[in-house]
């Protein structure tokens, strides 16, 4: 019985760290089809379109660490609203196999944490996008923004007489 329980827990844990978030470029191409746009050299992104949905996958060290999902249909440049229920379904199917728990915050957006604590997701109700991101990717993004700001400040200081 313990062996069966241990094997089940191992299977669940491995699904949580693999699948869509955490997938390789090839695994994403298998899941979503041939990329409609590739910007790996410039920004480590692959763009996919499948079943009237757009997927933008960011890769770090060969694995997807950010996945943005939104409707392929748009009005005046803004993707059509996929709706909160569809966003929850997409989170369950694309979120790396983890269980997701909604975070109780005062916001119009949907916010979730993964059961393993390594990822989070936000459904932006104004932009109609679901973004699933690892906490490591978020940390790298914040560090890059801080570095960029400090470089701008240094340049501004150098320009002063």
d(CA 25, CA 57): 9
Q: Assess whether pLDDT exceeds 80 at residue 14.
A: no
The domain segmentation of the chain, as residue ranges, is 2-134
**How large a percentage of the chain has pLDDT more than 90?**
55
Q: Is 24 helix (H, G, I), strand (E, B) or coil?
A: coil
Mean pLDDT of 18-43: 88
Strand order across the beta sheet in which 37-39 lies: 37-39, 45-50, 53-60, 63-71, 129-134, 119-124, 110-114, 100-102
Q: What is the mean pLDDT of the chain?
A: 84
Q: Assess whether pLDDT exceeds 80 at residue 25.
A: yes
Q: What is the pLDDT of residues 80-115, one digit of tens each?
A: 999 889 998 988 888 888 899 999 877 889 999 999
């Amino acid at each position: 019985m313990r062996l069966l329980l241990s094997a089940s827990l191992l299977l669940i844990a491995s699904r949580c760290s693999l699948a869509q978030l955490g997938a390789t470029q090839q695994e994403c191409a298998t899941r979503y089809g041939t990329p409609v746009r590739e910007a790996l050299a410039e920004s480590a992104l692959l763009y996919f379109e499948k079943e009237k949905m757009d997927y933008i996958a960011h890769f770090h060290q060969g694995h997807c660490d950010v996945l943005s999902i939104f409707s392929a249909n748009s009005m005046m440049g803004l993707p059509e609203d996929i709706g909160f229920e569809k966003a929850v379904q997409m989170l369950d199917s694309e979120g790396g196999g983890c269980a997701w728990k909604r975070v109780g915050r005062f916001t119009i957006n949907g916010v979730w944490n993964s059961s393993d604590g390594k990822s989070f997701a936000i459904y932006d109700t104004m932009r109609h996008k679901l973004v699933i991101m690892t906490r490591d990717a978020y940390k790298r993004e914040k560090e890059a923004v801080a570095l960029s700001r400090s470089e701008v400040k240094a340049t501004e200081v150098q320009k002063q007489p």
